[in-house]
């Protein structure tokens, strides 16, 4: 099986077709898995509830049922809406999510495009979803959605910086911006000569990991950073006028982006798809790589959603001062210390 | 022409056509928001052209800086200020301004066209080499170190100036 996969070398058009199909299947699946496991099951467990019980065994198919329900709903646009922009906005958000998956490596060769500057690409693409959010908020012709979009834009701009700065520490330590290169650097490293678990960068870049996760939380507009979609004050912000499959696209994009960011965190800080005691050139990674990466993604996602279900919402000024006065200075200090140690050691 | 570059040429013309349409819509649109959104198409097209020229670092920087930051700042600014967000018939320029703008555009076209044709003559690119990011950074931090530092200080000065202008107290 693994040898079969390793010797499979399709022509360019076929490999492109396969990549497109795989990505379009993987993105909704990851959103479903995160929604099912964390939003329904773990959340109800943390809040001492049962959660969905009816659809499928132990309620595991509830999200699928919800998806079908959304698809059946009428596609409504408000009267004063700017129709064209209103309809395209969710697709812009979804597109930025799809592009995130392009650079994610699930093993040495299981990657859509093994970019030389993978980290940089991912961070650049992640900043595109703001355009979709602003389009949605403005075109809805609704005060609440406009306010939500403005809050979202302010928040996403503010938390973009700590996210980029937090990653720089890892890039300095690995000496490469390629995501596969970072995985290899961690796998080949050793702790004071002991190479038992390689050298996952979370050990030295713990501060970077913390800042990165906080920034991811804010980029996803999840609690405690959910000012832009605060249900209790601006009734879901920029999403307020969306229904049916367009709302479903927003939902899908949010959870698929959460998965993608968790995967990026797993690659940058936890060693990605590699297992330390198996050489990275091994053909086993065609099967093992995605599984290892998935396990690490679930661990990181657990942290993200744990915070989401636990903390109350930040106020707007607290949110901005956390980014500008705490996270960014910490990230800068982290960069300086990492750079100095890289040169000295 | 090299057979290898046919696909790239076709892609270039498709993207270039989209960019021209987008650019025309930016200046003819009666709605400020729509104009800003058409600008997204133009800037994304420029990023795609950089990728066709095999310089991925410049392309990604284009996406990060122009699409991710500058356009968002435009949209943000339009929404925050009291600018009319709907259709606005007064958005067009006066006739005299149009003529001056047109004149400058023709002048720029001539100047850039001449310098491009004069600079490259009959040079064919042949096999495009992917420009590695490490090469870019190496040249910035060795050959072009002084211009880079001067630019950084210029940007810093602009940044401080903006803060000084914006602060009320």
Instruction: Write the pLDDT tens digit of every residue in A35-61.
Output: 888 888 888 888 888 878 887 787 778
Q: Which residues of A touch B (CB under 8 A)?
A: 82, 85, 115-117, 120-121, 123-125, 127-128, 130-131, 134-135, 137-138, 146, 149-150, 153-154, 156-157, 160, 177
Confidence grade of residue B161 (pLDDT, cut at 50, 70, 90): very high
Q: Nearest to residue A127, comparing CAs of A153, A101, A151? A: A153
Q: Which of A120, A128, A138 sits opposite B33 (nearest CB)?
A: A138
Instruction: Say yes or no for a CB contact (<8 Å) between A85 and B33.
Output: yes
Given a cut of 60, whether residue A77 has pLDDT beyond it is yes
CA closest to A177 among chain B residues: B133
Q: Which residues of A touch B56 (CB under 8 A)?
A: 115-117, 121
Of A138 and B129, the one with more pLDDT: A138
CB A335 within 8 A of CB A173: no
Q: Tell me, what's the pLDDT at B129? A: 67
B75·A154 Cβ contact <8 A:
no
Q: Which residues of B are less than 8 Å from A127 in CB distance?
A: 63-64, 67-69, 72
Q: Is the CB of A157 less than 8 angstroms away from the CB of B67?
A: no
What confidence score (pLDDT) does residue B1 get? 47
Is 0.80 surpassed by the pTM of this model? yes
pLDDT tens for each residue of A246-259: 888 888 888 899 99
| B101 touches B93 (CB < 8 A) | yes
pLDDT higher at A113 or B2:
A113
Residues B67-119: pLDDT tens digits?
Answer: 888 888 888 888 777 666 566 666 677 778 888 988 999 999 999 999 988 88
Return the pLDDT at B35: 85
Measure the CA dihedral B21/B23/B29/B32, to 10°. 140
Whether the upstream peptide bond of residue B122 has omega within 30° of 0, thus cis, is no
The three-state (H, E, C) secondary structure of A238-282, written as one string: HHCCCCHHHHHHHHHHHHHHHHHHHHHHHHHHCCCCCCCCCCCCC
Residue that the structure tokens 């408000």 belong to = A78
State residue A55's pLDDT score: 78
Check if the beta carbon of residue A127 is closer than 8 Å to that of residue A99: no
H-state helical runs in A1-126? 2-6, 12-34, 43-46, 62-72, 83-100, 118-126
Please state the rounded mean pLDDT for residues A110-128: 85
Task: Residue A316: give the domain boundaries.
Answer: 2-344
Q: In chain B, which residues have their Cβ closer than 8 Å to the Cβ of A124?
A: 60-61, 63-64, 68
Q: What is the mean pLDDT of chain A?
A: 84
What is the SS3 assignment for B31? strand
pLDDT single digits (tens) A268-290: 888 888 887 777 777 777 888 88
* 8 Å CB contact between B62 and A121: no
A192-224 pLDDT, tens digit per residue, is 767 667 778 877 888 889 899 999 988 888 878
- In residues, how long is chain A? 345
Residues of B in Cβ contact (< 8 Å) with A129: none
The predicted pLDDT at position A5 comes to: 67
In the block, tokens 């909704």 appear at A28
Average pLDDT over residues A306-332: 86
For A238-245, what is the mean pLDDT? 81
**Tokens in use for A209?**
């990991």
Say yes or no for a CB contact (<8 Å) between A117 and B133: yes
Confidence of residue B16 (pLDDT cuts 50, 70, 90): very high
Structure tokens at A161: 């910086």
Which of A92, A93, A114, A124 is the best mutation test for B, with the most CBs of B within 10 A? A124
CA distance A139 to chain B (A): 9
- Report in angstroms the alpha-carbon separations of B32 from A86, A151, B90: 16, 21, 11
- Across residues A307-335, what is the average pLDDT? 87
How many domains are there within chain A? 1
Average pLDDT, chain B: 83
């Amino acid at each position: 099986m693994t040898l079969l996969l390793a010797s499979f070398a399709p022509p360019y058009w076929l490999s492109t077709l396969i990549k497109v199909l795989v990505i379009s299947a993987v993105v909704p699946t990851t959103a479903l898995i995160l929604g099912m496991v964390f939003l329904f099951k773990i959340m109800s467990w943390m809040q001492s509830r049962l959660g969905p019980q009816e659809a499928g065994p132990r309620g595991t198919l509830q999200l699928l049922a919800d998806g079908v329900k959304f698809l059946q709903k009428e596609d409504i646009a408000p009267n004063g809406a700017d129709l064209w922009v209103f309809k395209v906005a969710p697709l812009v958000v979804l597109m930025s999510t799809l592009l995130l998956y392009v650079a994610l490596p699930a093993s040495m060769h299981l990657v859509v495009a093994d970019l030389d500057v993978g980290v940089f690409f991912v961070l650049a693409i992640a900043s595109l979803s703001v355009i979709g959010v602003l389009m949605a908020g403005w075109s809805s012709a609704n005060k609440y959605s406009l306010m939500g979009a403005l809050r979202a834009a302010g928040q996403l701009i503010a938390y973009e910086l700590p996210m980029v700065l937090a990653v720089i520490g890892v890039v300095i330590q690995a000496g490469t911006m390629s995501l596969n290169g970072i995985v290899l650097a961690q796998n080949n490293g050793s702790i004071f000569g002991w190479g038992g678990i390689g050298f996952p960068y979370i050990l030295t870049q713990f501060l970077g990991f913390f800042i990165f996760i906080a920034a991811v939380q804010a980029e996803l507009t999840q609690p405690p950073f959910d000012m832009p979609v605060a249900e209790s004050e601006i009734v879901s912000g920029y999403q307020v006028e969306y229904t049916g499959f367009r709302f479903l696209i927003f939902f899908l994009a949010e959870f698929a982006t959460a998965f993608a960011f968790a995967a990026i965190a797993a690659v940058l800080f936890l060693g990605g798809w590699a297992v330390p005691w198996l050489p990275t050139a091994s053909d086993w990674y065609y099967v093992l790589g995605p599984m290892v990466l998935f396990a690490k993604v679930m661990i990181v996602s657990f942290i993200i959603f744990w915070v989401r279900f636990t903390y109350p919402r930040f106020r707007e000024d607290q949110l901005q001062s956390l980014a500008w006065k705490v996270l960014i200075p910490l990230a800068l200090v982290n960069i300086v210390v990492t750079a100095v140690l890289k040169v000295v050691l | 022409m090299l057979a290898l570059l046919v696909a790239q040429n076709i892609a270039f013309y498709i993207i270039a056509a989209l960019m021209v349409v987008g650019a025309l819509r930016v200046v003819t649109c009666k709605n400020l928001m729509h104009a800003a959104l058409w600008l997204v198409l133009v800037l994304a097209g420029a990023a795609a052209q950089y990728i066709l020229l095999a310089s991925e670092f410049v392309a990604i920087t284009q996406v990060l800086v122009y699409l991710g930051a500058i356009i968002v700042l435009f949209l943000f600014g339009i929404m925050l200020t009291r600018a009319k967000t709907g259709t606005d018939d007064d958005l067009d320029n006066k006739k005299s301004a149009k003529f001056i703008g047109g004149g400058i555009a023709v002048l720029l076209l001539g100047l850039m066209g001449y310098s491009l044709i004069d600079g490259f003559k009959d040079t064919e690119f042949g096999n495009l080499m992917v420009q590695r990011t490490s090469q870019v950074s190496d040249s910035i931090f060795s050959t072009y170190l002084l211009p880079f530092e001067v630019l950084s200080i210029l940007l810093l000065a602009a940044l401080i100036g903006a803060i000084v202008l914006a602060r009320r107290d």
